[in-house]
Amino acid sequence: MRAVLRWTAVALLGLWLSLAGLAGPALAVNPDEMLANPQLEARARDISKELRCLVCQNESIDDSNADLAKDLRILVRKRLVAGDTDRQVIDFIVSRYGEFVLLKPRLEMRTLLLWAFPFAVLAIGAGFLAFSRRRTAETQRPLTLEEERRLAEILEKRP
Amino acid sequence: MNVELGHFALILALALSIVQSVLPVYGARTGNARLMSVAGPNAITTFALIALSFIALASAFLLSDFSVRIVWENSHSLTPTLYKFTSVWGNHEGSMLLWVLILSFFGALVALFGRNLPPALKANALGVQGWISTAFLLFILLTSNPFARLDPAPFEGRDLNPVLQDIGLAIHPPLLYLGYVGFSICFSFAVAALIDGRIDAAWARWVRPWALTAWIFLTGGIAMGSYWSYYELGWGGWWFWDPVENASFMPWLVGTALLHSAVVMEKRSALKIWTILLAILTFSLSLLGTFLVRSGVLTSVHAFATDPTRGIFILAILTLFIGGSFALFAWRAPTLAVGGLFQPISREGALVLNNLFLTTAAATVLVGTLYPLLLEALTGAKISVGPPFFDMTFAPIMVPLLAAVPFGPLLAWKRGDLAGAAQRLMTAFALALAVTAIMLMWTDASAVLAALGIGLASWLILGALTDLALKAGFGRVGWAVMVQRVTGLPRSMFGTALAHLGLGVTVLGISVVGGFQTENILDMRPGQVVQAGGGYSLRFEGMSGLQGPNYTARVATFDLLDRTGAKLDTISSAKRLYATRQMVTTEAGIRTLWPSQMYVSVGDETGDGAVVARIWWKPFVTLIWTGGLVMMAGGALSLMDRRLRVGAPSRSRRSPKAATVAEPAE
């Protein structure tokens, strides 16, 4: 009886797996999708890592097990086999699915702030530090080198 | 009955938190010692009540009381006992209860160990803790009551999300929360100092151990979370730049900055205003993290809450605390006295540089995490910001910082000698350069970045060792004196060196696995052997069925073979079906061959006993997390430094010799 139950469960598992590849975080790239040409395949993998699986949560199509991701992986490979450059492949996917598909957004007006922000923060921070240094240097004069040296002498003489 | 007791205790804790929010702060303003002294016992009692409430909820889970809604939603009578217990915080309501439990725990610690704190500072700080716990207890009781009942009670529960049925859930969230919430103490002290309008080196001496404690836990929480997702999610990545990971990483970056600037403040009473700002910022980012995860505004693997009323409530808390504290900061910070001066090239200068880069790195992560949300809210345009963005922006900011790390501890306070420090680091630099050169010669063009990363890692590790060797007087004094010196060094110096060394170890792991991991994706038939990398090969033995307590599984067994073809071990990877939730998980098969790992993950069966297998050889991968542990050990050593033990004056009195250990000349 238990064995029957178990095998029913296993059969259900198989059925379920074939029906819905969505939830199970399982295999992404499958052997049957892969290209025979290793260079093309490597390019396909690199491109796949930059494309978002549209129905998933923060996964690239390279990592995802969703059906849509599989379709996109196959599409990327088809375009590569047809002789597209990496850029053309990505442009083609974007023209079909929109900018949302790119995990690394392109530099445009609306993403300017995104790309510039880190470096702007660094520059502004450095500028602010330099500015505030100059200001404190004006208001509070530290000991001169000569004074410091004398101070050190006095301190050293102390037993 | 227990459940109602727990609910009641939680309401009582809210009442006490309101008392704690008002009386001590009012007492501190009016100089009323009796009102101020309410804070201590009140904080301890609040903790006891919330602990009682937590125990009540835990017992409902352990007894599988499905009349409690969240027990029904997240547990099952067949769930193993450990997971019954961990499901207490494997859901929204329970995890918020854990959050306030830890908050009140820290409050109680301040009350217990803060006996020699200035009374006004203690009263104000505990008062601010009271504000935070009032806000979050209100949030729990009004929008996320963990004790809600079901009538009629269901016979069986819906089981815990299978991805969470792992020992990782037992460790990761508590550690992470101890870190997140631990920074609330620094926040409370900062706000208390602003209210008081007074801040001095003693303040920094008070705050540093708390910042360090929180930082140690957060480091552990992040490292643990990273390893958990690495083995549990089954695709072998160790960091995904997932918004939820970022939410924990931002407080870590700013908290690390806080840790360093608090040192400057303690030793040289400089950077006071900046330290206060960092303390506020760190906890603000912790709150932001809580908001991002709990509101469901980001949908990601971790988000198990999607109720908008909760989101708005947390957003209100967030606005109130962040806005309020920044307003207070803007108002009061100019009244704080500016501290000691220093030259740009000095220990202080190096720590300012550290702060600048760490906060910039945090800002980068912040903008990458929030930009898609803001852009969509403002223009409706949907964009994605994923790992490639972070790799391109975060790395260039971290590399100069990492390269500068070995210089920091070698520079003197006030005015340092960069040329002198460079000279003393010559050996380390030459060795690191040699390592880089060898790596570049040995590898092909595709691994240039990895070679440079390995060079950087060796520079960090050797730099940390150089620091210790110099402080011990290596090469200048005899062995006997050196041993004496090493044992006489304050523990915080070992802490610094060890933490920086750990950083190097992590960078080494990241670089090696990034550049040299190998991957095989193939259909395997029983008996088939594949070269898996690192000189090892794997032989597929076959599939078998397995009945777990609350799942059924198909297990693929592989034999791990060494160069000669001799069998070393078996590795099994499985697909599990959790019947209650109808969810399939992949259990990766991992064999550690220290410091590397063989990682096997199975996919679909393709007929004739064959299976799709994904096999990774991950060289040096364990170093990524080992480095985290080393950093934690460094933090712990630093924490044990006698000079930091302000809370235990009796102990330093017992060993007067220890208290007078002079700081060696640098």
Return the CATH number at A63. Answer: 1.10.8.640
Which residues does A2 contact at the CB level (< 8 Å), separation at least 6? B547
Distance CA B102, CA B402 (A): 33
Residue of B228, B302, B360 to mutate when probing chain A, most A C-beta within 10 A: B360
Nearest neighbour of B603 by CB, restricted to A7, A12, A30: A30
Residues A56, A115, single domain; the answer is no
Tell me, yes or no, whether A122 and A54 share the same domain: no
The distance of A108 to chain B (nearest Cα, Å) reads 12
**Residues in chain A within 8 Å Cβ distance of B584:** 13, 16-17, 23-24, 26
B360 touches chain A (CB under 8 A): yes
Q: Examine the domain organization and report whether A96 and A114 are in the same domain.
A: no
Same domain, A82 and A134: no
**Would you mind telling me the total number of residues written for chain B in this entry?**
666
Distance CA B169, CA B163 (A): 9
- Alpha-carbon gap, residue B180 to B99, rounded angstroms: 9
Query: Given a cut of 80, is residue A10 above it in pLDDT?
Result: no
Residue with tokens 């809450």: B305
Interchain contact B648–A (C-beta under 8 A): no
Cα–Cα distance for residue pair B232/B297, rounded to 1 Å: 24
Chain B partners within 8 Å of A115 (Cβ): 393
Two structure tokens written together for B237: 């990545």
- Domain identity same for A10 and A87: yes
Distance CA B188, CA B207 (A): 10
At residue B508, the pLDDT reads 92
Residues A21 and A87 occupy one common structural domain: yes
pLDDT in tens, B181-209: 999 999 999 999 888 887 877 788 888 88
- A159 pLDDT band, cuts 50/70/90, is low
| B352 contacts chain A (CB < 8 A) | yes
Structure tokens at A157: 């003489």
| Residues A13 and A39 both lie in one domain | yes
Inspect the interface and report whether the beta carbons of B386 and A52 lie closer than 8 Å. Answer: yes
Distances (CA, A) of B329 to A38, B30, B195, B258, B274: 58, 22, 9, 16, 10
Side-chain-facing half-sphere of B544: CA atoms under 13 Å: 9
**pLDDT < 70 regions, chain B:** 296, 298-308, 337-340, 475, 642-666
HSE on the CB side for B380, CA within 13 Å?
0
Residues from chain A contacting residue B387 (CB–CB below 8 Å): 49, 60, 103
CA distance A141 to chain B (A): 9
Joined together, the tokens standing for residue A124 give 């502004």
> Which residues 611-630 of B have a C-beta within 8 angstroms of A?
612, 614
Say what the pLDDT of residue B594 is: 85
Indicate if A85 and A121 belong to the same structural domain. no
CA atoms within 13 A on the CB side of A27: 27
Q: What is the pTM of this model?
A: 0.86
pLDDT per residue as tens digits for the range B208-237 = 889 999 999 999 999 998 998 888 877 778
Check pLDDT > 50 for residue A15: no
- The shortest CB-CB distance from A16 to any of B388, B521, B582 is to B582
pLDDT on residue A27: 56
**Residues of A in Cβ contact (< 8 Å) with B368:** 114
Pairing of strands B610-618, B536-547: unpaired
Angstroms from A83 CA to nearest CA on chain B: 23
Name the residue of chain A whose CA is nearest to B607's CA: A14
**Which of B238, B338, B384, B414 is the best mutation test for A, with the most CBs of A within 10 A?**
B384
Kind plus residue range of the DSSP H or E element containing A78: helix A67-81
Contact B575 A111 (CB under 8 A): no
d(CA B512, CA B517): 8
What's the total number of domains in chain A?
Answer: 2
Residues of A in contact with B549 (CB under 8 A): none
| CA neighbours closer than 13 Å in the CB half-sphere of residue A56 | 27
Residues A32, A61, single domain; the answer is: yes
Cross-chain Cβ contact A103/B384 below 8 Å: yes
* pLDDT single digits (tens) A130-157: 887 776 655 555 667 777 888 788 777 7
Q: Which of B229, B231, B584, B585 to mutate to test the interface with A (most CBs of A within 10 A)?
A: B584
Q: How many CB pairs under 8 A join A and B?
A: 156
Please count the other Cβ atoms lying within 10 Å of the Cβ belonging to residue B493: 21
Interchain CB distance below 8 Å, B585 and A24: yes
CB atoms inside a 10 Å sphere around CB B533: 20
Smallest CA–CA distance, residue A82 to chain B, in Å, is 24
* Domain identity same for A15 and A59: yes
Say whether A114 and B604 touch across the interface (CB within 8 A).
no
Residue B475 has what pLDDT?
A: 67
Taking an 8 Å cut-off on Cβ atoms, the answer to whether A24 and B240 are in contact is: no
Q: Report the 10 Å Cβ neighbour count for B152.
A: 6
Average of pLDDT values for A30-53? Answer: 84
What letter would DSSP give residue B661?
A: P
Same domain, A152 and A78: no
What's the one-letter identity of residue B221?
G
Does B152 sit behind a cis peptide bond, omega within 30 degrees of 0 on the bond before it? yes
DSSP assignment letter at B594: T
What is the full DSSP assignment across B284-337?
HHHHHHHHHHHH-SS-STT-----HHHHHHHHHHHIIIIIHHHHHHHHHGGGSP
pLDDT score for B332? 84
Closest of B264, B274, B226 to residue B246, by C-alpha = B226
What pLDDT, on a 0 to 100 scale, did the predictor assign at position B20?
94
Q: How far is CA A34 from CA A20, A44, B24, B514, B523, in A?
A: 22, 9, 68, 22, 12
Greatest Cα pair distance, chain B, in angstroms, is 83
Angle at which helix B167-196 crosses helix B201-232, to 10 degrees, equals 160
**Residue recorded with tokens 């918020």:** B96
| Boundaries of domain holding A125 | 109-157
- HSE on the CB side for B590, CA within 13 Å? 21
Q: Give the whole-angstrom CA distance, residue B26 versus residue B132.
A: 17
CATH number listed for the domain at residues B1-165: 1.20.120
Same domain? A88 vs A129: no
Using CA coordinates, name the residue in chain A closest to B344: A133
Query: How far apart, in Å, are the Cα atoms of B120 and each of B23, B33, B35, B37, B459?
Result: 12, 9, 10, 9, 46
pLDDT for A158 equals 62
Residue B393 buriedness (CB in 10 A; 0-12 / 13-18 / 19+): buried
A118 CA: distance to closest CA in chain B (Å) = 5
Q: Is residue A107 over pLDDT 50?
A: yes
Residue B4, number of CB atoms within 10 A of its CB? 11
Domain boundaries of chain B, sorted by first residue: 1-165, 175-335+342-413, 425-516+624-647+655-659, 518-618
Q: If you compute the radius of gyration of chain B from its CA atoms, what whole number of angstroms results?
A: 27
| Min Cα–Cα distance to chain A from B404, Å | 16
CA distances from B543 to B3, B66, B572, B573 (A): 45, 37, 9, 10
Is residue A54's pLDDT more than 90? no
Alpha-carbon distances, residue B78 vs B73, B219, B549 (angstroms): 14, 34, 6
